[in-house]
Amino acid sequence: MKYWLFTTPLLLTLAACSTSNESKQSADDTFSKHTEQQVSFAPLNTGGLTLLQEDSTYRLPETGKINYQPMDIRPPTSPIALINNSMTRFDGQRSLIVYPLDKQNVYSLKQVERLLREQGIGYTATSSQIETTWASTGRKDDIGNTQIRYLIEQVTTKDASALAVSILQMKRDNVIFTPTELDVQRYTSDRLNQLVGQLNAAYNKQQQELNSGVSIPIKSQLARDINGRLALGLDASFTYSWNKLRPALNLLGFKTSEENPAKGYRELSYSAPEATEWARFGSADPKLENGTYTMQLISLGRQSAVIISDEDNKTLPEEKVQHIYQALHNILAK
């Protein structure tokens, strides 16, 4: 059996080391907690002199302990201007980023919804805000199981657009508590920076693929949406599918006359090509009338689905729409 001999200084050093989250959030200020060492003075031999009495003004506390509130010493987090020509601030309740109006479709609530689905975070959404279910903060230095319900808003004016994150509720180990203003700044800034950073990465990747001419085939198959409408399911993200569908539809005679990327909507003007064109793409002519049609792209996390409808967003006869989807399937697979 081997025995290891550790010197006293080494043992003291090891004992002083700590990796707990409590030690990361608290300062080692022993005087603020205890004043056990009291100062006392022994009577002096005055030698016949008259000395002034002791002044109690600066007398040290005689209690063994002083009441104190624990202080979180972690450095604060602030929203970061991760978008070109943007500005950020924390107003006491929300962390927000304001950016140019031409970026409102890139940094939109629809794109935030996609990120939340990919992260497995539940939510309810309206046209202008998202309320999440309980979600982890993602910080490794938290004490206990800290979770937050977030409110994410998008505000648009004639000059700019903004994303804002605030806290609806906060709990630790299933005990709901009211966060301090420093907590609100830290956790709303963290979430805003994370969302904008991920949207930035997706946008930059998309631009690089478009500029470099990279084209990745998309696998697809017939599916139905929650309303029973026939759709073409795409094994690709919303953003990638959106960019690939426009040139694919052009080949089939569908020209884009209007679009709203944030809602995944395109208005299409159809002019029937030669019947042989449909055969070239491995499908039969659907015999559609020339006119206006619509395309709706739905995000399904890392996948998406496209639905072609008539001008009034009503479903087309399945036999006709199957021919359209078959042609799109063959074009996107190349």
Angle at 298 between CA 296 and CA 303, to 5 degrees: 135
Share of the chain above pLDDT 90, in %: 48
Average pLDDT in the 290-314 region?
91
Examine the pLDDT at 145 and tell me if it is beyond 90. yes
Tell me the CA distances in angstroms from 148 to 175, 183, 191, 196, 324, one per residue in order.
11, 11, 10, 18, 45
Share of the chain above pLDDT 70, in %: 79
Give residue 248's pLDDT: 92
> Of 9-23, 108-122, 185-199, which has the strongest mean pLDDT?
185-199
Domain map (residue ranges) of the chain:
87-202, 220-332
Average pLDDT in the 196-204 region?
87
Average pLDDT in the 244-258 region?
92
According to the CATH classification, is domain 87-202 in 2.40.50.140?
Answer: no
The C-alpha atoms of residue 159 and residue 79 are separated, in whole angstroms, by 21
Q: In this structure, are residues 265 and 310 in contact, taking their beta carbons and an 8 Å threshold?
A: no
Average pLDDT in the 196-205 region?
86
Average pLDDT in the 176-201 region?
94
Examine the pLDDT at 31 and tell me if it is beyond 90. no
For the chain, the distance separating the N- and C-terminal CA atoms, rounded to the nearest angstrom, is: 69
> Of 2-16, 63-77, 183-197, 269-283, which has the strongest mean pLDDT?
183-197
Q: Which residue has the tokens 């605030």?
A: 166
pTM higher than the cut 0.75: no
Give residue 1's pLDDT: 47
CA dihedral sign of residues 171, 175, 180, 186 = negative
Q: How many CB atoms lie within 10 A of CB 90?
A: 19
The C-alpha atoms of residue 146 and residue 138 are separated, in whole angstroms, by 9
Which residue(s) pair with 305 in the sheet? 233, 298
- How confident is residue 208, by pLDDT bands cut at 50, 70 and 90? confident
Sheet containing 303-310: order of strands? 220-224, 230-234, 303-310, 291-300, 265-270, 254-260
For residue range 65-104, list pLDDT tens digits in order.
Answer: 666 666 777 877 888 988 989 999 999 999 999 999 888 8
Ranges of H-type helices in 54-180: 109-118
Give residue 240's pLDDT: 87
The C-alpha atoms of residue 59 and residue 66 are separated, in whole angstroms, by 15
3-state helix, strand and coil shares in percent for the chain, rounded to the nearest 5: 30, 25, 40
Examine the pLDDT at 9 and tell me if it is beyond 60. no
29 CB contacts (<8 Å, ≥6 apart)? Answer: none
Give residue 11's pLDDT: 47
Mean pLDDT of the chain: 84
Q: In this structure, are residues 37 and 73 in contact, taking their beta carbons and an 8 Å threshold?
A: no
According to the CATH classification, is domain 220-332 in 3.30.310.170?
Answer: yes
